[in-house]
Chain A
Amino acid sequence: MAENNKHAHNSEGYFREKHLMLDPLPRGQMNAMAMEAMHHSTWKFWTVFAILCVIVAYCLVYSWIKMILEGLGIAGVNRPAYWGVFLVNTVFWIGISHAGTFISAILRVFKAEFRRPFTRAAELMTTFGLVQAGFSIFMHLGRIWLFYWLMPYPNQRMLWPNMHSPLSWDLLAITTYLLSSTMYLFLPLIPDLAMARDRSTGWRKIFYRILALGFRGTEGEWTHLRNAMTIFAFAIIPVMFSVHTIVSWDFASATRPGWNSTIFGPYFIVGALHSGMGAVVMVLAIVRSTMKNMKYFIRPEHFDGIGKLMLIISMAWAYFFFNDYIVQWYGGDKWTHLLLHFHEAGPMGWMWFAMLICNIAVPWALLWNARWRAMPWVTFAVGLSINIGMWFERYIIIPISLTINRMPFTWRMYQPGVEIPLGIGTLALFILLYMSASKLIPLIPVWEVEEGQMVHELKKFGRETVVSVSDLE
């Protein structure tokens, strides 16, 4: 076959530029780059940080205290929409957190090498996203100061939580997920913390020394670490599936028209991955463009890889949405039909169409093209569109669907109140936590990158240059 133009260039240089795994740098240098990225901050960073602190103080802290003192009346929930944006945000943040687990666990298990530089960035999203989800679910409690009654603890009155309730399952599932993903974040972080310890002075050294748990990098320690990570990788996959299934059962176990649908389990998981992947590319694009040295670690190839995943997941989501819709439609239940019609043609019909455009049309239009996929800001835009679309999807499922029920005398639109500043506050806190983390821990797992670079090599077979990967595990 005729030689492709691309191959006319210095093929090795081309490959080195395109693929991180084929572009090794001395390990010490990569570590130094990661440390520099942590230490280097600009006035822009601190300005944004300060603004976010103010937003968190007002939108989250002040508004929440006000709501606790005055009651949920300042939110927009009512009869029949007893649940509103708080639950939307909860599901949204849990959904985002799924991406981290998917990338660091599933991609690891499936040996998708392109995941290596950004697993930690994704895992941080999981942990911080779950924090926001936790806040959001606590916010919606009427008597939040008694939240501990939902936890199983022995007490004098011999009262336990009701395990029939999907909310109790939620509690267990999310707690499990938070704990396990935090540990799963921490495990691969240990070598990097040790690296940072060895390269730091002052308070940072103390900080890293405590967290690194004395890791010296001996063969025995690495073996234990790898075993632990492997176990966790396999163990956390079912947790990922179960968490969002259980969250979906908050709705699917209810009697409401539009909620009582068996497809919710996988539908929500796919939806979570959909919005999570979109959030990952958004974070990566921002990290890449704002942090020093990140352009080396995070390359267009990664956006290309995630972009392919986003496209596939978008198709899966479209299937599940279609499934949910068509089953409800041919089921023929009068109230469900009313609800479906209300979704499309009611006053919030624009949101329904926007959801479909953002979740399906935009990804399908843009992510087919390999060149576009590789552009960070294109995938960023698609990721943003997907996140908006998925937020709309949950808004439609929760407050808009709750408007319609079997007692038409009670139907009433939902208008969010203090949920908006509180939601903005959680978003600001998420970014704030992320920015803090970027200053405190190395965002790139250099040892994993190095590990990958060691096993990738270019081999020439005649005129073809091929990337070969030797098996690590």
Chain B
Amino acid sequence: MSVVASALAMTHAGYVAAGWVIPLVVLGAYAVRTVRRGRSLANRVPPEDRRWS
């Protein structure tokens, strides 16, 4: 194997990228979903039940 190819192989770039992109995307999507659920629920409930804002 050429030096370049073996150097590239050690970077495992695709795996590192997947290993970071997937968690960030999943956490982001979960966060968006939770916050949106929160907004729609908060609108159905009077302010005295929401003691945090």
Q: Do A and B bind each other?
A: no
Chain B residues with a Cβ under 8 A of chain A = none
Chain A residues with a Cβ under 8 A of chain B = none
